[in-house]
Structure 1
C-alpha cells in the first residue's frame, strides 16, 4: 500500500478551462502542491499557474496546514516554485514509467533535509515549539511527503488520468490499485457518456437503414 508520514488531508477544488469547479484528490500533499503549477496535468490545454505572488503561497499553505503558517516572502515563493516544479516533473516521469532526473531528486532532498512542521497531539496544556511555523518549514514537510510519494513501494501507483486531453497525475491509494480517473465526477463521467453514446450509435444506424 502507499506510504505517507504526513497527516494532512489532501485534495483540493480546481477550476477547469470551461469554468467548472471540481474536486481533485491527488492522494498526496506533494502532488496537491505540484498541481498549483502547469507541469502536472498539462495535457493539451496547460493549466494556469496558481502561485503568482507570496500572498498566493501563504494562502495555499494556510488552507492545508493544521498549524499557523507565517507570511511568505519573495524568497519563499522562489523556493516553493523550485520545489513544486521538481515534484511535478518527477511525477510526470513516474506516471510514464521513467526514472526521475537526478537534478530534481537533489531539489527534493535539499528541502526535505531542512526542519519541517513537527507533528503534535491536540489537547495538551502547554505550547511546545513555535506558535507560528515558517514557510520554509512547510516546504520541508511537503518535500518529505514527496520522499514518501516516490518511495519504491508506490511504484506503478503514480498515474496520469485516462481522460482525453487531461493527464492529471495522482497517487492511486485504492486497495486494488484500479483508479483510472482524476475524478469520477469529471473525466470518469465524461468517459461513461462517450461509452454510452458509442453503444447507442450502431442501434441508431440500424433503425435509419
Structure 2
C-alpha cells in the first residue's frame, strides 16, 4: 500500500473481505484509491489472490464486484465506529454469499474434481462468505480504525489479546512510538532545566 508520502508499507487488514474493500475509495468522498477501473483490473486482482484459476471478468462482473465491495466498505466503516450496520448492505453481502463459492480443495491428489476454471461469481461469493464471518456480532468489536489521529484505515484485529492499535507498526505504530519517545525526552529535559 502507498502512504501519503509515496512510500510503500505493509498493511494487513486481517480479512480477505476487507482486502477486497480496499480495492476502492474506502469511505473517501471521491474516486481516490479506485483500483477496479475495468473488468481486467478485477480479473487481475482475483487471480493474484485465489489459489485456483478464476475466469476473465466481464462488465457485469465488475458491476457486481463494486456493489459487493461498497457494501463491505460501508459495513466495515459502521462497525469500526460502533454504528448499526445497514440492512441494505447486509442484504447485498447475504445475496452474494448465497451463491455457489469456490469449493475448497486439498492439493496433492491425482484427480481434479469439479471445474478447472472458477467463475468470477464464485470468487465474489467466497469473498461475501468471508464477510459474513467478519461481520458476525461476536467479531464486530474487532473491526477497528487505526488509533493514529491522521489515519482512517480500518482493519480486523486478529491479535490474540485483541490489542492491535495501528494499521501497521511500520507506519502509524512506529510514528506513535517516536512521538511518545520524543515527548518523554522533552519532559525529562524540561524537568532537568
Residue 18 (structure 1) aligns with: 5
- 8 A Cα contact 1:161 1:168, kept in partner: yes
Ranges of 4+ aligned residues in structure 1 off by more than 6 Å: none
Structure 2 stretches lacking a partner, 5+ long: none
More helix by share: 2
Which structure has more relative contact order (CA 8 Å, sep 6+)? It is 1
Q: 1:4 aligns to what? A: none
Contact 2:146 2:154 in 1 (8 A): yes
CA RMSD of aligned residues (A): 1.8
* Contact kept in structure 2, 1:45 and 1:165, CA below 8 Å: no
> TM-score, with normalisation over the residues of structure 1?
0.87
Residue 88 (structure 2) pairs with residue 103 (structure 1): yes
Query: How far apart in 2 are the matches of 1:191 and 1:23?
Result: 17
Q: Distance in 2 between matches of 1:73 and 1:18?
A: 35
Find the counterpart in structure 1 of residue 116 from structure 2: 131
Separation (CA, whole Å) in 2 of partners of 1:202 and 1:23? 32
SS in 2 for 1:21: coil
TM-score, normalised via structure 2 length: 0.94
Match of 1:197 in 2: 182
Deviates more, 1:159-168 or 1:134-143: 159-168
Which secondary structure does the structure 2 equivalent of 1:22 belong to? coil
1:70 aligns with 2:55: yes
State the distance in 1 between where 2:140 and 2:94 align: 19
Quick one: structure 1 residues 185 and 47, their matched pair in 2 at CA, closer, same or farther if it must change by over 3 Å?
Answer: farther
Gaps of 5+ in 1: 1-13
